[in-house]
Amino acid sequence: MSVRTEIETVIGLWNGGLDGGDIEQMVSTCHADTVTVNERQPVTVGTQAIRDKYNPRIAAAEITSGFDIETLAEFGDTVVVVGRFYGTMKMRDTAEVRSPEGRLTLVYQRDEAGAWKMILDMDNNGPA
């Protein structure tokens, strides 16, 4: 399997967890000390921070998500992925539908078992 296919699979696991409300599936794709740098939010470190950030979103909305890889660069056991995220959030309390989109940089590193784990998630919102 190519590195690109492996990374697409890991991103798919994250998105599947997000869309299905399974936070543990999401964090299973992350290094324990993953750094998240999301627009207009404080920098966070660790999988508990991911749980704290995403559990309220999952509770508040029905989510669908997608990601298109634009660039993937390999540096040994580290991969940098740049692409475009998009999706919908149908708010449970109001039925309002939001359509988040923007650019995203993800960095993955192979762990001791050979699995790709996210070590950095950095985004900016708005049209690509």
| pLDDT value, residue 12 | 98
| pLDDT value, residue 128 | 53
Token pair for residue 77? 């056991």
| pLDDT value, residue 125 | 79
pTM to 2 decimal places: 0.93
Q: Which residues of the chain have pLDDT under 50?
A: none
Token pair for residue 64? 């669908």
| pLDDT value, residue 127 | 64
| pLDDT value, residue 41 | 87
Burial class (CB in 10 A: 0-12, 13-18, 19+), 49: middle
Give the C-alpha separation, 89 to 60, whole Å. 9
Domains in the chain, please, with CATH? 3-125 (3.10.450.50)
State CA 32 to chain mean position distance: 14
